[in-house]
A and B are shown apart, each in its own frame.
Chain A
Amino acid sequence: MEGSGFLKKHCLKDTSTNSFDSCDYLSVLPDPLLLHILSFLPMKDVIKSSFLSRRWRSLWMYVPTIDFTSWWEPEVSKSVDRFLAYYKSKKIQKFCVSCSSKDVVTIDSWIHFTSRRDVEELYLDFSPRNDKDSSNEEVYGNEYDGRSDEDGSNEEVYGNGYHGLYKLPFSFFRSASLRVLTLKCCALNLPSSVSFTLLKTLCLYALEITGNMFKILTSGCPLLEDLTLRNCNSETDLDIFVANPHLKRLEINEYKISGRIEIYAPSLLMIEFTRRMERNDYSSVKKLPLLVSAKFDCNEMDDDIWEDEISTFSKWAELLGYLHVKDLKLCSWFIQALSINEVQDFTGPPIVATHLELTTGLGKWELPGLAYLLRNSSNLETLTLNVEESIQIDLQGTFGDDYDFDEQNYWKVESIPLQHLKMIRVNNFMGGYSHFRILSEEKILSDANKQLKFMKFLLRNSMILERMIIKISRETKIRELVDEAALLFKVTKKLLAFPRASPIAKVLISY
């Protein structure tokens, strides 16, 4: 009979669930598992778990991760004090606090407390804030929604007043357990030598790093691999000096800053610029001999481009020429910046990368930039496109009209022989819409069309292409507006029918 085996099994399971219905399956889990679960909760919920039952009553006092970053501000220091007074575990995995207090004695006592318990990760944020900002939007740095603070009201611009900041005690700078450290908005008051024997990841955020501080700090971190600098030296030059042989990755994440940047990091393999690139000269990246990968994710740059700025845009094309990297990742803003060069027939230095990863919405002012990149990357073997709705630059004045071009037929008239391109990956095809986007059927179809046109161009110009792998995004919003099956069928048919310059090219489509 039909599926009796499955049904039997199913019923059996059902009855067993019913017969144990009153059973509490979670409380039987061993302590380490329950504690692991608690470490994913905000502190309030961790403490609240004590009300559940006897099993849970004391667990919170052993939670390995202590996170007071989302605590209601005026009470933070008192609450941390209370909590630590109850704390029973001999080992702290991670301690995070956001607190604008400058009560040195109290904060020092937390630092001693955590270091006695061999803390491995510390997140110490002393930025001034008002109550309404104490929600943890900004907590882990990379999760912010950058555009919401366009007005830059409270955020990270503390330019004039480093003297009022909390100073870490000298003893802080000796630890044989710390692996990950984030310091935000405090005074880097270094002893003559530092010893973080296991530290691998360091993030300095809104600090003023002057003189030989970099040298002292990094020479005490023999294992340092990953360094992030967020809005440090916001009004002064940033001279990064990291001679560590293990340093692999450097991220410069800045917003509303000025001054020069100088980077000395001979072992560096990867560099990333995020948010904005507003320093007046980035050419020191050419002094990074081992660099293999560079990423420019500066989508928060000003979208308004004024006519007197146009002439400075050649610097972005030149910057790519300084980078002798295999792997180059560019955001949509950067691509648009290259467009400004391309339409003026400015030819920058060649790009040596063999892999380009581009995030683009294929908007009008991204097209010339894409053409520029393809033409100038004669070594290109792999191209990755991440389709994401992009914010289009707004060309002020007459530039846009003076250099206008036909968007519809852009790829039709363009011809760029891609002699080494073997592999094309497209992620999020027909997708990448922002959450706030109100979509229409027309918009979806016209975007799909733009993307198809570019695919057609790529297939027509890639002489030795082996594979084009297209991952079609299936966003629910699209399903609501169009007959998805019909659209997918149509798109697939088109993609497979485009003429291919390479006889061995395969087009693979996945949903």
Chain B
Amino acid sequence: MASTSNSTSSKIITLRSSDGEVFEVEESVALESNLIRRMMEDDCANNIIPLPNVTAPIFYLVIEHCKKHAEMKDNKEKKKELRSQGEELLKSDPHTYSNLMEAVNYLDIKSLMDLTAQWLADFLKGKSPRLIRELLKIKNDFTPEEEAEILERNRWAFD
């Protein structure tokens, strides 16, 4: 069967994660990261670029999502699919989610910042604070007095 070829042979960038794993990434994907872009402008182009704040499994996730994001530009179905993946991740593995969010922030990738933020926003939307706490393991550390105070202060928004 025929298939599309990735005929455009672009430059490959080599990056090393904090745990020493080496990644070879197409330049067009790597440049989604403003951090990498800046580092390349500062002339590390031919060397391995170190990423001291990102571990290999998380960096792998970042690259995957960068690629998917590039693909979805003109595809509504894909867009929906990508947006719906957040709920699963947040339910099954909030730790990885928060690592991913931090990595995306560190690497300064605007499109993924918005995507990952949207994931959590979609997840929080319409849920009660109690349910959110339970799902995301957020500990209610308010004293009963504090809780009453907040309720009093913010009641206007819910009447």
Residue pair B121, A37 in contact (C-beta under 8 Å): yes
Cβ-based interface call for A475 (8 A): yes
Main secondary structure of the interface of B (DSSP, over half): helix
Q: Shortest beta-carbon distance, A246 to chain B, in Å? A: 23
- B45-74 contacts to A (CB < 8 Å): 74
18 additional A-B pairs beyond A33-B117, A75-B159, A508-B3, beta carbons within 8 Å, are: A21-B137, A23-B137, A24-B136, A25-B136, A25-B137, A27-B138, A32-B105, A33-B101, A36-B113, A37-B120, A37-B121, A50-B154, A51-B129, A52-B138, A54-B142, A489-B1, A492-B1, A508-B5
- A41-70 contacts to B (CB < 8 Å): 41-45, 47-57
5 tightest A-B CB contacts, nearest first: A40-B121, A51-B129, A510-B4, A25-B98, A47-B157
Cβ-based interface call for B95 (8 A): yes
Residue pair B1, A509 in contact (C-beta under 8 Å): yes
Q: Shortest beta-carbon distance, B16 to chain A, in Å? A: 19
Residue pair A40, B117 in contact (C-beta under 8 Å): yes
Residue pair B3, A79 in contact (C-beta under 8 Å): no
Which one of A20, A33, A48, A51 contacts B102 once the chains associate, using CB atoms below 8 Å?
Answer: A33
Residue pair B74, A509 in contact (C-beta under 8 Å): no
A-B contact count (CB 8 A): 124
Question: A37 vs B118: C-alpha distance in the bound complex, in angstroms?
Answer: 7
A26 contacts which chain B residues (CB < 8 A)? 94, 97-98, 120, 136, 138
Q: Chain B CB within 10 Å — which of A17, A24, A55, A511 has the most?
A: A24
Q: Shortest beta-carbon distance, A370 to chain B, in Å? A: 21
Cβ-based interface call for A481 (8 A): no
Residue pair B77, A473 in contact (C-beta under 8 Å): yes
Residue pair B156, A79 in contact (C-beta under 8 Å): yes
Q: Report the contact-size class of chain B (Cβ under 8 Å from the partner).
A: 35 or more
A20 contacts which chain B residues (CB < 8 A)? 95
Q: Chain B CB within 10 Å — which of A41, A427, A469 has the most?
A: A41
A28 contacts which chain B residues (CB < 8 A)? 98
**Cross-chain pairs A/B with CB under 8 angstroms, 25 sampled:** A23-B95, A24-B136, A25-B97, A25-B99, A26-B98, A26-B120, A29-B98, A33-B102, A36-B117, A39-B117, A44-B157, A50-B150, A51-B129, A52-B129, A53-B141, A54-B141, A55-B138, A57-B146, A75-B159, A78-B156, A82-B156, A469-B4, A489-B1, A507-B2, A508-B4
Q: Say yes or no: A49-B124 contact (C-beta < 8 A), given A23-B137, A24-B139, A492-B2.
A: yes
Question: A56 vs B159: C-alpha distance in the bound complex, in angstroms?
Answer: 21
Q: Shortest beta-carbon distance, B58 to chain A, in Å? A: 12
Q: Shortest beta-carbon distance, A204 to chain B, in Å? A: 26
Residue pair B95, A17 in contact (C-beta under 8 Å): yes
Q: How many residues of A contact B (CB 8 A)?
A: 52
Chain B residue nearest in CB terms to A42? B125
Q: Shortest beta-carbon distance, B89 to chain A, in Å? A: 12
Q: Shortest beta-carbon distance, B9 to chain A, in Å? A: 16
Cβ-based interface call for B126 (8 A): yes
Q: A-contacting residues of B (Cβ < 8 Å)?
A: 1-5, 74-75, 77, 93-95, 97-99, 101-102, 105, 113-114, 117-118, 120-122, 124-126, 129, 132-133, 136-142, 146-147, 150-151, 154, 156-159
B151 contacts which chain A residues (CB < 8 A)? 51
Question: A163 vs B78: C-alpha distance in the bound complex, in angstroms?
Answer: 46
Q: Shortest beta-carbon distance, B94 to chain A, in Å? A: 5
Residue pair B136, A45 in contact (C-beta under 8 Å): no
Question: A353 vs B102: C-alpha distance in the bound complex, in angstroms?
Answer: 46
B74 contacts which chain A residues (CB < 8 A)? 427
Q: Shortest beta-carbon distance, B12 to chain A, in Å? A: 23
Contact with B along A465-502 (1 / 0, CB 8 A): 00001000101000000000000010010001000000
Residue pair B138, A79 in contact (C-beta under 8 Å): no
Question: A57 vs B159: C-alpha distance in the bound complex, in angstroms?
Answer: 19
B138 contacts which chain A residues (CB < 8 A)? 24, 26-27, 52-53, 55-56
Q: Say yes or no: A57-B150 contact (C-beta < 8 A), given A27-B138, A41-B125, A42-B125.
A: yes
Cβ-based interface call for A312 (8 A): no
B99 contacts which chain A residues (CB < 8 A)? 25
Question: A508 vs B101: C-alpha distance in the bound complex, in angstroms?
Answer: 37
Q: Shortest beta-carbon distance, A69 to chain B, in Å? A: 15
Cβ-based interface call for A22 (8 A): yes
